[in-house]
Amino acid sequence: MDQQEILRRVDHTILAPAATWEQVKQACDDGRHLGVASVCIPPRYVKKANDYVGNTLKICTVVGFPNGYATPEVKVFETEDAIRDGADEIDMVINQGLAKEGDWEGVLAEIRAVKASCKGRILKVIVEACSFTLEEKISLCRVVSMSGADFIKTSTGFGAGGATVEDVKLFREHISPDMRIKAAGGIRTFQQAQVMLEAGADRIGASTLVGLAKG
């Protein structure tokens, strides 16, 4: 798998709290030039980035990020606001506390509410896999598959751990056939990205691969 093929599956990510518009603008320029799947940027910059790139690049943003413990109503508002500003894809963080309690109905209801507010846009559900046991991750695969979301995503990149090959393989085994996987967190080389894709990931979240491609 060559670099360009990998880049077509990359969400070029800039979510640092201190990210400036100039940095986001540069990410958009790089993303367009290299043909990435999307740029994943802070909600604050979605409208400005959408106005800047027009229809030349997909804009992704985050909801309930990075901790996931906002109320469902807040997550729905964040989603609707992002969609109004021009977001094409939404990456939402689940309520990890509900999952730890085994309140799978609560987790499911929240994801479904956010999915409905996406108005047909792609929804990726971040489960922060490093926080959960094997059995909990299997249950999360089942719940996210039931929710109508488009992707299950391994990590925020702000947690205690990032994507692992083992989690990608586990997700592939337990999600529904039409569900896709985004591996994110700690993927810093094209070799690591290729391993994740070969394990079953469909999308890669990374902040360093574009810089490597630029040399």
Q: Which residues are catalytic?
A: 91, 153, 182
Q: How far is CA 72 from CA 92, 107, 210, in A?
A: 11, 10, 34
How many helices and strands in the chain, by DSSP H and E?
Answer: 10, 8
Strands in 21-174 per DSSP E: 38-41, 59-63, 89-93, 122-126, 151-153
Cα separation, 198 vs 34, in Å, equals 21
Cα separation, 201 vs 6, in Å, equals 11
CB atoms closer than 10 angstroms to residue 77: 14
Cα separation, 32 vs 121, in Å, equals 20
Cα separation, 80 vs 143, in Å, equals 23
Residue 50 CB contacts under 8 Å (≥ 6 apart), including other chains: 59, 85, 86, 87
